[in-house]
């Protein structure tokens, strides 16, 4: 990596998630040299002034390639926190690829991620450039959680079920993303359980047992209920891709490893309402 002015630049720093990231960096990483960027200088300046670090501010717009090139050349890593990413990050990813800058984001837009894989993965790997989508709630807890489970057990795993007790709000970008994905044009299908996997990288057993289900089950050992989880359609694909890539590097979770994901609720009625609501939402959006 070329020695650059900044370790990290946050793109979309004035958004819901961007402001959380700024506060976290400011509090916990005083030795990192970072800056913030986005479209609105006044908002960004106010955010900068509210911190201890007082990071430098750069105005950059997702449609202005020159402004994106400027920030990309200044840093080792770009963290894009402004969604929908299929709408706002295409040019940014391309500039990162062109100038050897690592890129991370917090997208859950797997159709878009699949297209990024097709376009950049092979060459980025050769050049040592990391393009890593889905580094937020979608899908770090699922992906890293699975990785550490395997590390802790230190033996082949048949299957892991992930359960999420979801709380908290939804950002404007997340809401817009849901509707953007319904119009996203690609040859791939969002319902494909192995959407992000390399071609022919799953077994018949994995194909049989890796499905998006709308069932409700009692989790006896926890005395709780499981229901479909709205973000499982994103998270499961990421975990399965990671498992496949690790398999190709002789770091396998298990030759027939299966991962599925659910929401966890205390009461049956809550699980039922979640299931009905998600079924209705799925018919509208997909």
Per residue in 213-246, pLDDT (tens digit) is: 888 999 999 899 999 999 999 999 999 999 999 9
Q: Which two tokens stand for residue 271?
A: 């699980």
What percent of the chain has pLDDT above 70?
Answer: 91
Higher local confidence (pLDDT), 270 or 168? 270
When the pLDDT of each residue in the chain is averaged and rounded to a whole number, the result is 91
Inform me whether the pLDDT recorded for 182 exceeds 70.
no
166 band by pLDDT with thresholds 50, 70 and 90: low
What kind and span of H or E run contains 217? strand 217-219
| C-alpha to C-alpha distance for 9 and 76, rounded to whole angstroms | 8
Domains and CATH numbers, the chain: 6-132 (3.40.50.720), 140-285 (no CATH)
DSSP 57: E
Range with the poorest average pLDDT among 110-114, 145-149, 160-164, 188-192:
188-192
Inform me whether the pLDDT recorded for 68 exceeds 70.
yes
Angle at 175 between CA 231 and CA 14, to 5 degrees: 110
pLDDT digits (tens, 9 = 90+) for 103-134: 999 999 999 999 999 999 999 999 999 999 99
Higher local confidence (pLDDT), 281 or 122? 122
| β-bridge pairing 224-228 and 258-265 | antiparallel
169 band by pLDDT with thresholds 50, 70 and 90: very low
Which pTM does this prediction carry? 0.90
Inform me whether the pLDDT recorded for 170 exceeds 70.
no
Inform me whether the pLDDT recorded for 92 exceeds 70.
yes
Range with the poorest average pLDDT among 2-11, 59-68, 211-220, 260-269:
211-220
pLDDT of the residue at 278 = 86
Span 65-84, average pLDDT: 97
Inform me whether the pLDDT recorded for 265 exceeds 60.
yes
List of residues 6+ apart from 164 with CB closer than 8 A: 141, 229, 231, 261, 262, 263, 264
The CA-atom distances, in angstroms, between 238 and each of 81, 109, 118, 277 are 18, 11, 15, 24
What percent of the chain has pLDDT above 90?
Answer: 80
pLDDT of the residue at 210 = 94
Tell me if 145 sits within 8 A of 241, measured CB to CB.
no
| C-alpha to C-alpha distance for 8 and 32, rounded to whole angstroms | 8
Q: Which two tokens stand for residue 226?
A: 């499981």
Strands (DSSP E) contained in 60-170 are 75-80, 102-105, 131-132, 159-164
If you average pLDDT over each of 154-163, 205-214, 275-284, which comes out highest? 154-163
Question: Could you tell me what percentage of the chain is helix, strand and coil, using 3-state DSSP and rounding each to the nearest 5?
Answer: 45, 20, 35
C-alpha 164 chain-centroid distance = 16
286 band by pLDDT with thresholds 50, 70 and 90: low
């Amino acid at each position: 990596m070329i020695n650059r002015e900044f370790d990290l630049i946050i793109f979309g720093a004035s958004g819901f998630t961007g402001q959380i990231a700024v506060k976290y960096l400011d509090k916990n990483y005083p030795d990192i040299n970072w800056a913030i960027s986005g479209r609105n200088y006044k908002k960004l300046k106010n955010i900068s002034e509210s911190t201890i670090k007082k990071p430098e501010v750069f105005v950059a717009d997702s449609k202005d390639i020159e402004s994106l090139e400027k920030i990309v050349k200044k840093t080792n890593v770009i963290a894009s926190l402004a969604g929908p990413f299929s709408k706002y990050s295409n040019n940014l990813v391309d500039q990162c690829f062109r100038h050897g800058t690592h890129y991370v984001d917090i997208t859950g837009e797997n159709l878009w991620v699949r297209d990024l894989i097709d376009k950049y993965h092979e060459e980025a790997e050769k050049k040592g450039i990391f393009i890593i989508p889905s580094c937020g709630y979608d899908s770090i807890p699922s992906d890293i959680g699975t990785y550490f489970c395997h590390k802790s057990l230190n033996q082949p795993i048949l299957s892991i079920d992930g359960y999420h007790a979801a709380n908290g709000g939804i950002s404007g970008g997340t809401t817009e993303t849901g509707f953007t994905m319904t119009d996203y044009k690609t040859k791939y299908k969002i319902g494909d359980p192995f959407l992000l996997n390399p071609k022919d990288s799953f077994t018949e057993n994995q194909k049989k047992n890796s499905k998006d289900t709308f069932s409700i089950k009692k989790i006896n050992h926890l005395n709780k209920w499981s229901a479909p989880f709205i973000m499982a359609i994103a998270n499961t694909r990421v975990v399965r891709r990671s498992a496949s890539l690790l398999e190709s590097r002789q770091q396998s979770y298990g030759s027939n490893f299966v991962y599925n994901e659910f929401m966890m609720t205390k009461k049956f009625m809550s699980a039922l309402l979640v299931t009905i609501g998600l079924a209705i939402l799925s018919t509208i959006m997909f």
